[in-house]
Amino acid sequence: MTILVTGATGAVGRHLVRALLDHDQDVRALTRDPARAALPAAVTLVSGDFADSASLSDAVFAGVDRAFVFPGDGVAAFVDAATRAGVERFTVLSSLAAAKEFPRDEGSASQLHHAAIEQAVTTRTDAWTILRPGTFANNLLTWAWPIKNGWPIRAPYAASAQAPIHEADVADAAAASLLSDEWIGQAIPLTGPQALTRTEQVAAIAAGIGRELELVEISPEEFRAEVAQFVPAPIIDMLLDYWRDTLTEPDRVRPVTPLTGRPGRTLAEWARDHRADFAADAT
Ligand X SMILES: NC(=O)c1ccc[n+]([C@@H]2O[C@H](COP(=O)([O-])OP(=O)(O)OC[C@H]3O[C@@H](n4cnc5c(N)ncnc54)[C@H](OP(=O)(O)O)[C@@H]3O)[C@@H](O)[C@H]2O)c1
CB of 100 to ligand X, least distance (A): 14
Q: Which of 83, 81, 60, 70 is nearest to 2 (CA)?
A: 60
**Residue 169 near residue 192 (C-beta atoms within 8 A):** yes
Instruction: Tell whether residue 49 is a contact of ligand X (CB under 6 A).
Output: yes
**Between 73 and 214, CB nearer to ligand X:** 73
CB of 57 to ligand X, least distance (A): 14
Instruction: Tell whether residue 135 is a contact of ligand X (CB under 6 A).
Output: yes
**Between 137 and 213, CB nearer to ligand X:** 137
**Between 112 and 279, CB nearer to ligand X:** 112
Instruction: Tell whether residue 93 is a contact of ligand X (CB under 6 A).
Output: yes
Q: Please, which residues have CB within 8 angstroms of residue 39's CB and are 6 or more apart in sequence?
A: 8, 9, 14, 17, 29, 45
Return d(Cα 118, Cα 191) in angstroms, integer: 19
**Residue 45 near residue 32 (C-beta atoms within 8 A):** no
Question: Interacting stretch for ligand X, rule CB under 6 A, among 134-142, 153-161, 227-235, 263-271?
Answer: 134-142
Among 3, 8, 19, 67, binds ligand X (CB under 6 A): 8
Among 61, 70, 183, 242, binds ligand X (CB under 6 A): 70
**Residue 94 near residue 187 (C-beta atoms within 8 A):** yes
Return d(Cα 67, Cα 221) in angstroms, integer: 43
Question: Interacting stretch for ligand X, rule CB under 6 A, among 32-40, 83-91, 177-185, 202-210?
Answer: 32-40
CB of 189 to ligand X, least distance (A): 10
Using alpha carbons only, give the angle 97, 98, 99 rounded to the nearest 5 degrees: 90
Dihedral sign for Cα 215, 143, 278, 146, please: negative
Among 18, 28, 71, 168, binds ligand X (CB under 6 A): 71
Contacts to ligand X by CB under 6 A: 6-13, 31-33, 37, 49-51, 70-72, 93, 95, 133, 135-136, 138-139, 167
